[in-house]
């Protein structure tokens, strides 16, 4: 039993509020335990220079953590005059994982800007952002679909992410900050609803880990991702009917 009462294979309570902000094309507020993230998606009717004239779209992300999202105030990047390396890593991760489940040719020459803002951090901010951003992407693409039907619906699969780790020699799912900061091994796993992997990030924070440890952590993460995707499906309900149709609507 963990200090917050969870079992080793239990995710934290999840709360999702859709259409959270007024102006975004897709907007989600997501809580996973005490981690709270706002995910907004904006549709831009153009693509980066390297994609112009190729007939396909793009998805990119900006990620930030508000100064008092953490126990000690975190200085804004604009004050420092440069983007924090961790911020760059996370926003690239979110962008490429979302692109992995979207047919960019079916999307057409449009850019989806995904803004993920952490308003409270208690571990798993990047995995929470990916889980929430996927729902916001669905909202934005459905808004496009209502204006003009896609011949092929762009979203091919569900996508979600969880953290796993080894803390005090115990393998745990969905680490909160207290666990994450004391982890011997820390991993972030991003998967689709059909069990395929999009990305695996694993680090031996204090000690190297074995292939057996890695396999067991991945099995544990798969349990968590399945639960997260069930929650996504309940949140989207009838707005997700076209996901994974793989052809003409």
Known binding positions for phosphate: 86, 124-126
16 vs 236: CA distance, rounded Å: 10
Q: Are 246 and 239 in contact (CB under 8 A)?
A: no
DSSP state of 160: E
CA angle 195, 197, 201 (to 5 degrees): 135
Q: What is the DSSP string of 77-143?
A: HHHHTS--HHHHHHHHHHHHHHHTTB-HHHH-S-EEEEEEEEEE-SS-HHHHHHHHHHHHHHHHHHH
Q: Which residues are annotated as a binding site?
A: 86, 124-126
- DSSP letters of 171-216? EEES--HHHHTT-SEEEEEEEETTS-EEEEEEEESSS---HHHHHH
> Residue 118: phi, psi to the nearest 5?
-85, 120
d(C-alpha 152, C-alpha 142), whole Å: 12
CA-CA-CA-CA torsion for 90, 94, 99, 102, nearest 10 degrees? 180
Residue 93, token pair as written in the block: 């991760």
């Amino acid at each position: 039993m963990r200090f917050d009462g969870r079992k080793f294979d239990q995710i934290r309570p999840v709360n999702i509020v859709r259409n959270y902000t007024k102006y975004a094309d897709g907007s989600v507020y997501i809580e996973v335990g005490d981690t709270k993230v706002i995910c907004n998606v904006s549709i831009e009717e153009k693509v980066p220079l390297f994609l112009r004239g190729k007939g396909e779209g793009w998805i990119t992300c900006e990620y930030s953590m508000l100064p008092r999202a953490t126990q000690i105030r975190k200085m804004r990047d604009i004050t420092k005059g440069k983007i924090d390396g961790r911020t760059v890593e996370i926003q690239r991760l979110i962008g490429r994982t979302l692109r992995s489940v979207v047919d960019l040719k079916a999307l057409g020459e449009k850019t989806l800007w995904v803004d993920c803002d952490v308003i409270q951090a208690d571990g798993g901010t990047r995995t929470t952002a990916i889980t929430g951003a996927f729902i916001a992407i669905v909202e934005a693409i459905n808004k496009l679909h209502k204006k003009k039907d896609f011949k092929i619906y762009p979203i091919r699969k569900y996508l979600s992410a969880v953290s796993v780790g080894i803390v005090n020699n115990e393998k745990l799912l969905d680490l909160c900050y207290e666990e994450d900061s004391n982890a011997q091994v820390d991993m972030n796993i991003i998967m689709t609803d059909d069990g395929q992997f999009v990305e695996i990030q694993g680090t031996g924070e204090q000690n190297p880990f074995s292939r057996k440890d890695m396999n067991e952590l991945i099995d544990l993460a798969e349990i968590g991702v399945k639960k997260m995707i069930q929650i996504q499906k309940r949140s989207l309900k009838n707005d997700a009917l076209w996901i994974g149709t793989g052809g003409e609507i």
